[in-house]
Structure 1
Amino acid sequence: MNQLFEGIRLKPILIIIIGTLIFGFGIIHFNLQNGLAHGGFTGITLLLYYLFTIEPSLSNLLLNIPLFLIGYKLFGRLMLMYSLIGTICLSASLRIFELYPVTELPLQDDMILVSIFAGVFVGTGLGMIFRAGGTTGGADILARLANKYFGMSIGRFMFSFDAVVITISLIHLSMTNAMYTLVTVFVAGRVIDFIIEGASAAKSTMIISSKTDELSKAIIEKMSRGSTVLTGKGSFTADERSVLYCVVNRNELIQLKKVIEEVDPYAFFSVNDVKEVSGEGFTFDNQKRPLKPTT
Structure 2
Amino acid sequence: MKDSLLKVYYPVKDYLLIILGTALYGFGYNAFILSNEIVTGGLSGICGLIFFATKLPVSVSYFAINVLLLGIAFKILGFKFLVKTILGVVSLSFWFWFFELVFAGQPLMQLQEVFMSVIIGAMICGSGLGLVFYAGGSTGGTDIIVAIINKYKDISIGMGMVLLDFLIVSSSYFLFANVDKIVLGLIEMGVNSYMLDRVMNANTQSVQFMIFSRKYDEIADAIIHRLQRGCTILEGEGGYSHKPIKVIVLVARNRERTNIFRLIKMIDSQAFISQSTVRGVYGEGFDAIKV
- TM class by shorter chain equals 0.7 to 0.9
Letter in structure 1 aligned against 2:71: L
Contact 2:208–2:249 (8 Å) recurs in 1: yes
Q: Which residue of 2 aligns with 1:29?
A: 31
Unaligned 5+ runs, structure 2: 1-7
Unaligned runs of 5+ in 1: 1-6, 285-295
Offset of residue 137 of structure 1: 1.3
- Whether the aligned pair in 2 keeps the contact of 1:15 and 1:128 (CA below 8 Å) is yes
Q: 1:283 to 1:67 in 2, by over 3 A?
A: closer
Alignment of 1:67-216 (within 5 A): 67-75=69-77, 77-101=79-103, 104-173=107-176, 174-199=178-203, 201-216=205-220
**Paired position in structure 2 for 1:43:** 45
Shift, 1:214, TM fit: 2.2
2:232 paired with 1:228: yes
Q: Which amino acid aligns with 2:148?
A: L
Identity among equivalent positions (%) equals 31
* Equivalent-residue separation in structure 1 for 2:76 and 2:233 (angstroms): 43
Q: Partners of 2:34 and 2:86 in 1: how far apart?
A: 24
Change (3 A) 1:235 1:165: farther
Instruction: Flag the 1:107–1:10 CA change in 2: closer, same or farther, 3 A.
Output: same
Amino acid at match of 1:69: G
> In structure 2, what is the equivalent of residue 293 of structure 1?
none
Give the whole-Å Cα distance in 1 for the aligned partners of 2:175 and 2:237: 61
- Name the amino acid aligned to 2:31: H
CA RMSD of aligned residues (A): 2.4
| Structure 2 Cα separation of the partners of residues 132 and 106 of structure 1 | 31
Deviation at 1:11, TM superposition (A): 3.5
Q: Hey, what does 1:20 align to over in structure 2?
A: 22
Q: CA deviation at 1:59?
A: 1.0
1 CA distance for matches of 2:255 and 2:123?
A: 26
SS of equivalent residue, structure 1 residue 242: strand
Structure 1 CA distance, aligned partners of 2:231 and 2:11? 38
Query: How many residue pairs get matched?
Result: 278
Among 239, 243, 249, the alignment partner of 1:245 is 249
Give the conservation status (yes or no) of the 8 Å contact 1:205–1:270: yes
Deviations 1:81-100 (A, max 9, x none): 32122112212211111112
SS, match of residue 100 in structure 1: helix
Q: Quick one: structure 1 residues 45 and 229, their matched pair in 2 at CA, closer, same or farther if it must change by over 3 Å? A: same
